[in-house]
Structure 1
Amino acid sequence: MSAITPTSTSTGLPARVWNGTGVVRLRREGAIAPIGAFVVFFVVYVIINPELLTRFQLQTAANLVVPLALVALGQLIIVLVGGIDISIGAIMSLCNVVFAVQLETMPVPVAVLLAIGTGLACGLFNGFLVAYGGLPAIAVTLASAFIFGSLAREVLDRPGGGITTEIYLATSGELLPFVPVSLVWLAVVAVLLWLLLQRTALGRHIYGVGSNMESVRAAGLNARLTKLLAFGLAGVITSLGAMMLAASTVTGDPRSGDPYLLSSIAAVALAGAAFTGGRGSIIGTILAACTLGLIGNLLFFAGVNSYWQYVISALIIVAVVGIPVVWRKAAFFAKGARS
């Protein structure tokens, strides 16, 4: 990932440029903390539960964290433009049941396109009200969460659908021994998203809208259209997470996305993204989502009460996010004392 550095271009728009080593770029995106947290936690997890490295456990863990990672990437897109999506869990539920129900009567490609179209439509609905209606994203998405959640229950009022074993194997099985298919799909999405954000005008505009709205407007670029497209893109990525979840559980569920709202926000926060917009890391977000998923998995197998699981997860997030802040302040005061 590269970092945002405001530079003067022919259009006046802040550009993303390569700067120094990869470590410098990751640090500026806030990705060092989630990468470190993932490495430490993964080592601890393997020490406590060596069976994680077996084929079955690795596949199970991958199928657990991939939907969360995809939804977290969708949330990251919204955060990059300075917003937050409270409806992302409801969008996931709606796409989940649309995919599962359409598989009962439609070919797989059609069901996939309908699910993606549903996510796109939900995202564009939110984006239009935010970008062109001038409404706060948190208020719009809070209201739309009720709308999308109700639609999900209209489509399917209880778990069900037509997901087959073939679909499960194609999305959640093994490509090769010790290589879960779900991780391959996640890698493909992550690479395509990285290319879009780093190598296209839309990606630069998304970062620009979040980091310096005035420069975007001064350059004569359409900030409203950028926000609209960012919400649409987030809806598409969320729909991919919804389909991966439906395939791995072999069922559609109108409440399947409920736990992913707070988890997606937590993953983005843990990844060091700036909620004011303009800064965020794809790799950091994915690894933060993996860490959160593995934490919940480990606590579950340890027999920890579900209520305490949330408390422990929250404390870990505070520690990972807070330690770098405390470290910087301590270094600042130490430097001041020496001078």
Structure 2
Amino acid sequence: MTTGTIFAPVARRTALPIWIQRSIHEGAAPPVVAFVLFIAVYLAVNPSLLTRFQLQSAANLVVPLAIAALAQLMIVLIGGIDISIGAVISLCNVVFATSLAGLPGPVALIVAVLVGAACGVFNGLLVAFGGLPAIAVTLASTFIIGAIARTILDRPGGALSETIFNVTSGEALPFLPMAIVWLVIVGVAVWFVLQRTAFGRQIYGVGSNRDAVQAAGINSRLAILGAFVLSGVLASIAAVLLAGSTVTGDPRSGDPYLLTSIAAVALSGASFAGGRGSVLGTIAAAIILGLVGNLLFFAGINSYWQYIINALIIFAVVAIPVLVRIISTRKSLAQGGHHD
């Protein structure tokens, strides 16, 4: 009986799948709980979310943001912030939209992804090998990349077709928007890279303790460069899905995703000092932020309140764990003093 009592807690702790344990450790629990509560409130206010049209519209709205947030997460994990995310999305968006005029869809997609990767290489080289702060480099590159996007296409346009819409944003099956399919594919791929590859462990390691990574004989510069390249690729995928859902290219299409992607990463519980962040939490946070405007609309509230509510949500999710730690610490100190 004693043995069973000793080992029972261990069995309970290991009952959860390892990916859930890791997600909880990386801060996914608060945003996921917030996501469940938010969806419950949303459905109470607007039950039509579960209709085919509403579900597809919501998916097309939030999926590009979720993937853009994952792109931002890559840089936050190494201890930086990417100010150029919006500009990269805009550039890849117009490249994809204009390339379709003379190239097949898959080739245009590859071109857009290569452009996103090239943006990542540019930023990554300056940060990793130039020793410059990520926020400064990406702020400067925002102007360069944005100017290139407006040179390629100075107003909304492009050569997108209904086929592109169906592949990126239509319905794969009834009640299964293609945008959700792409989000699952991208989310699983990013999770696999971060959790199951040496490269992913290096990204977390660089963010948590770069000196220790260097001491272990790992080239932290290549890890930083790789994080920027992966971020650029993810931004390009978000751009393609955005172009497909709107059936147009727009040189300013990525502008709204800069601050919202940072907000989603903050809401996800990631550490801006680096080394801690969750794919699941980031996706959940992005969906919440993406749907807040819709919820306010159906509740009859002015949409300008969206920004205030976004800020309050972020404050709550960031502050609650801190308050819990403070309360727990005070209780421990009080109990320790009582025993003494």
List per-residue Cα deviations over 1:50-70 (Å, max 9, x = no partner): 000111101110110000000
Are 2:132 and 1:135 aligned? yes
Cα distance in 2, alignment partners of residues 73 and 132 from structure 1? 24
Structure 1 runs of 4+ aligned residues shifted over 4 Å read: none
Cα distance in 2, alignment partners of residues 54 and 320 from structure 1? 30
Are 2:140 and 1:151 aligned? no
Amino acid at match of 1:108: G
Shift in Å at residue 257 of structure 1?
0.4
**Where does residue 204 of structure 1 map in the other structure?**
201
Q: Report the structure number with the largest CA radius of gyration.
A: 2
Shift in Å at residue 170 of structure 1?
0.9
Tell me the SS of whatever aligns to 1:175.
strand
**Where does residue 42 of structure 2 map in the other structure?**
45
Higher helix share: 2
- Equivalence map 1:327-338=2 (5 Å): 327-338=324-335
Cα distance in 1, alignment partners of residues 328 and 129 from structure 2? 44
The TM-score normalised by the length of structure 2 is 0.92
**Where does residue 84 of structure 1 map in the other structure?**
81
Cα distance in 2, alignment partners of residues 92 and 301 from structure 1? 29
Shift in Å at residue 301 of structure 1?
3.8
Q: Is the 8 A contact 2:45 2:299 kept in 1?
A: no
Q: Which moved more, 1:234-243 or 1:299-308?
A: 299-308
List per-residue Cα deviations over 1:222-248 (Å, max 9, x = no partner): 111111111001000110000000000
- Equivalence map 1:25-44=2 (5 Å): 25-44=22-41
Cα distance in 2, alignment partners of residues 243 and 286 from structure 1? 18
* Gapped regions of structure 1 (runs ≥ 5): 1-18
Are 2:202 and 1:244 aligned? no
Q: What value does the CA root-mean-square deviation take over the aligned residues?
A: 1.3
Are 2:43 and 1:69 aligned? no
Are 2:216 and 1:219 aligned? yes
Amino acid at match of 1:147: I
- Equivalence map 1:173-184=2 (5 Å): 173-184=170-181
Are 2:102 and 1:95 aligned? no
Are 2:294 and 1:297 aligned? yes
* Gapped regions of structure 2 (runs ≥ 5): 1-12
Shift in Å at residue 303 of structure 1?
4.5
The TM-score normalised by the length of structure 1 is 0.92
List per-residue Cα deviations over 1:104-142 (Å, max 9, x = no partner): 121111110110011000011000000000000000000
**Where does residue 312 of structure 1 map in the other structure?**
309
Shift in Å at residue 220 of structure 1?
1.5
Q: Is the 8 A contact 1:89 1:261 kept in 2?
A: yes
Tell me the SS of whatever aligns to 2:304.
helix
Cα distance in 2, alignment partners of residues 87 and 66 from structure 1? 19
Cα distance in 1, alignment partners of residues 313 and 72 from structure 2? 20
- Equivalence map 1:179-190=2 (5 Å): 179-190=176-187
List per-residue Cα deviations over 1:54-111 (Å, max 9, x = no partner): 1110111011000000000011011111111000000000000100011112111111
Amino acid at match of 2:66: A
**How many residues are matched?**
321
